[in-house]
Structure 1
Amino acid sequence: MSQPLVQFRNVQKSYDGENLVVKDLNLNVAQGEFLTLLGPSGSGKTTSLLMLAGFETATSGEILLDGKPITHIAPEKRNIGMVFQNYALFPHMTVAENVAFPLKVRRVATRDITDRVRQALDKVGLAGFESRRPAQMSGGQQQRVAVARALVFEPKLVLMDEPLSALDKQLREQLQYEIKRLHRDLGLTVVYVTHDQTEALAMSDRVAVFHQGVIQQIDDPIALYEQPRNAFVAQFIGENNAFDGQIDTVNGELCQVRLPDGSLIPAHRVVERGSGERTRLSLRPERVVIEPEAGAVDIRVPARVVDVTYLGKYARVRLRACGLEHFVVAVPNDGRTKALAPTSLINIGWRAHDCRALNAE
């Protein structure tokens, strides 16, 4: 197995000497991987990125790049490209001058700079924009310039800190695709920070979910969504029905969970919990079936419709069920939802393996 390009070894970070923003971080990033650090504000994801970039220093532990410690190496000597949320372009410089800046700092021969700048701008679709200034460009165009500047010196690693958060939805989705194309076509290694779950799932080879300075789970997008390992990940990634109960019986990977109203729910036992222990059940809205046919589900429960919201391709149906006032079901918008009038009583159901018994916290 080849050596990871990036290694965090027992890295910790504290700004005040008492409270750890990053706690005992151990993380490897493979050559050519697109890894996203995802989490809420204050979870430690951006601090981890800044330590890798060299703009923050680890309180303890070690960070290696290509097998070599980089703790005492200045940011500009780490051969890392950086793309910021606010573009960080020089307003008094032209596009060509902005993109050329890293090459001039590295004392690249002047005869080579023009060709490399042209090639970098061509990669991001900005050929012919060399003489413009940032103020003459849209936000999306400015971010493309920032990406070109990060790529122009052919770095080993590219770091991106919330690069698309200031853009509107359509442009953000377009640039997501273009960044992934560059990652694929150029064989880049990318470490990307975002708080946007959809963006993380759409772009990444793997996603590391941060909470309170600790990686809660690191997995590919499908496993992260379909197989969350704890209650925080289940709640943070996508929409989720979460309800608490107590494990009644255990049968291998399955268990029966007794809810506060006394009903029993079959579930897939993700964490080691025995009879009598508390658990939190996680059930995705799209896994719930309204008026299921016999044999299609493992459990049927009654529910009362609260309201129906039409969202184009699907409808979001809010119910009272399983002791929850806000039990959500995602239903394909095929016309059948018109019969779901508020206050009507219906049956819902799901398969046991789609309901995951997680930690109780």
Structure 2
Amino acid sequence: MHQSGSNGDSGMPFVRFDNVQKSYDGRTLVVKGFEMDIEQGEFITLLGPSGSGKSTVLMMMAGFEQPTHGEIYLNGNPIKKLPPHKRGIGLVFQNYALFPHMTVEENLAFPLQVRNLSKSEIEKKVKRALDMVRLSDFGHRRPAHLSGGQQQRVAVARALVFEPELVLMDEPLGALDKNLREEMQYEIKHIQEDLGVTMIYVTHDQSEALTMSDRIAVFNDGVVQQLATPEELYERPVNAFVAQFIGENNRLRGDVISMNNQACQVKIPNGDIITAKPVAVGQTGEKSTLSLRPERIVINPEQGVLSNIFDAKVEEVIYLGDHLRTRVSVCESDEFIIKTPNAEGHPNLQRGDTIRIGWSEEDCRALDAS
């Protein structure tokens, strides 16, 4: 079944991956039955650990790799047999791939020259692209005389200069330092929104994916584990891998001892029983991983308000400016994290203290055992 994403009134998506598989050796599939529909103007991120298949999907879209099975459609047309230069797709990679012997303007003019545009049209489009990435005064410089961030801006401008409808980016900010990386995330997102261009972006950095994307496809072992909005992925992960990969997460393991549609009870090895929301567990007797976000833990809860209340021993308190990060021992875990906003009236916690903590069953998701 395809993940939704229609293009206008035609009902046909702008990009469609139809049961796409890829194997390099004829035995091992690095991409397994990949299906996704992408709307025009969407910012889609392929997120996952190294070797999960996300870059292979991007390379197949670009035409540098061929699917072993299945078809890819762009604007309703199959493109599997179309060579890369005829797909009209903008590309940005981590290494920028700028021509070192050309100036910035010459780098931007190149994709227009190969499309046989007139000299005046090329000058107009190059100027517009430079303005877009705030490099109007750098056109006569060579790439070697630019900073890493400026080189990346040129690479983005070159991908957009011929006004493609689709741009692919593979770890484009991987070589930049943290502050510049964050600045470029917002810049790329704003350019994408202003132009209305469709973007498929590959990264292994989950905060980058959450910041930039309309929807995120979380990959593991060649399979999309979940495709959803950033909020949906964070708040409602469908399995233990997604819960662990997106954001920080407390994990507890145990056996399901009772269940109905609204709630289940999971007994952890020390005998504590936790009430949770059943998401990816089938029946009683099954093992389950419980997923719980650190900011959903309440310190010193009122009695009777929350379904899960336990005594916890404070192991470590770290002051992080806008919030406190407290590590406690509870429910057989000594790596249980609580995040609390640094607001007035915050409890004064010391290492070795015993405190009461609690959480609601809605915030505790019972997932698969893996």
Pick the TM interval, shorter chain: over 0.9
Residue 137 of structure 2 corresponds to which residue in structure 1? 128
Describe how 1:265-280 pairs up with structure 2 within 5 A: 265-280=274-289
Residue 48 of structure 1 corresponds to which residue in structure 2? 57
Moved more, 131-140 or 210-219: 131-140
Which amino acid in 2 is paired with 1:350?
W
Which of 10, 16, 37 matches 2:19?
Answer: 10
Which amino acid in 2 is paired with 1:202?
T
Which of 282, 285, 305 matches 2:294?
Answer: 285
Describe how 1:160-171 pairs up with structure 2 within 5 A: 160-171=169-180
Q: Does 1:196 align with 2:205?
A: yes
Which amino acid in 2 is paired with 1:302?
D
Residue 71 of structure 1 corresponds to which residue in structure 2? 80
Output the CA distance in 2 between the equivalents of 1:86 and 1:308: 40
Deviation at 1:297, TM superposition (A): 2.1
Residue 354 of structure 1 corresponds to which residue in structure 2? 363
Describe how 1:11-160 pairs up with structure 2 within 5 A: 11-160=20-169
Output the CA distance in 1 between the equivalents of 2:79 and 2:262: 44
Moved more, 204-213 or 60-69: 60-69
Which amino acid in 2 is paired with 1:210?
F
Output the CA distance in 1 between the equivalents of 2:318 and 2:156: 39
Output the CA distance in 1 between the equivalents of 2:175 and 2:147: 11
1:207–1:221 CA contact under 8 A, matched in 2: yes
Output the CA distance in 2 between the equivalents of 1:272 and 1:322: 20
Q: Does 1:226 align with 2:235?
A: yes
For residues 110-159 of structure 1, what are the alpha-carbon distances to aligned partners after superposition, in whole Å with 9 as ceiling and x for unaligned?
22111110011111111121101111111111111001100011112000
Deviation at 1:109, TM superposition (A): 1.5
Output the CA distance in 2 between the equivalents of 1:131 and 1:61: 45
Q: How many residues align?
A: 361
Moved more, 95-104 or 270-279: 270-279
Greater than 4 Å deviation, 4+ residue runs: 335-338
Which amino acid in 1 is paired with 2:260?
N
Describe how 1:174-213 pairs up with structure 2 within 5 A: 174-213=183-222
Residue 258 of structure 2 corresponds to which residue in structure 1? 249
Stretches of structure 2 lacking an aligned partner (at least 5 in a row): 1-8
Output the CA distance in 2 between the equivalents of 1:296 and 1:152: 58
Q: Percent identity?
A: 58
Moved more, 227-236 or 11-20: 11-20
SS at 1:339 equivalent: coil
Deviation at 1:196, TM superposition (A): 0.6
CA RMSD of superposed structures (Å)? 1.2
Stretches of structure 1 lacking an aligned partner (at least 5 in a row): none
Deviation at 1:335, TM superposition (A): 6.3
Deviation at 1:334, TM superposition (A): 3.0
2:281–2:366 CA contact under 8 A, matched in 1: no
Deviation at 1:108, TM superposition (A): 1.2
Q: Does 1:324 align with 2:298?
A: no
Output the CA distance in 1 between the equivalents of 2:77 and 2:281: 39
1:253–1:270 CA contact under 8 A, matched in 2: no
Output the CA distance in 2 between the equivalents of 1:171 and 1:82: 20
Output the CA distance in 1 between the equivalents of 2:114 and 2:317: 58
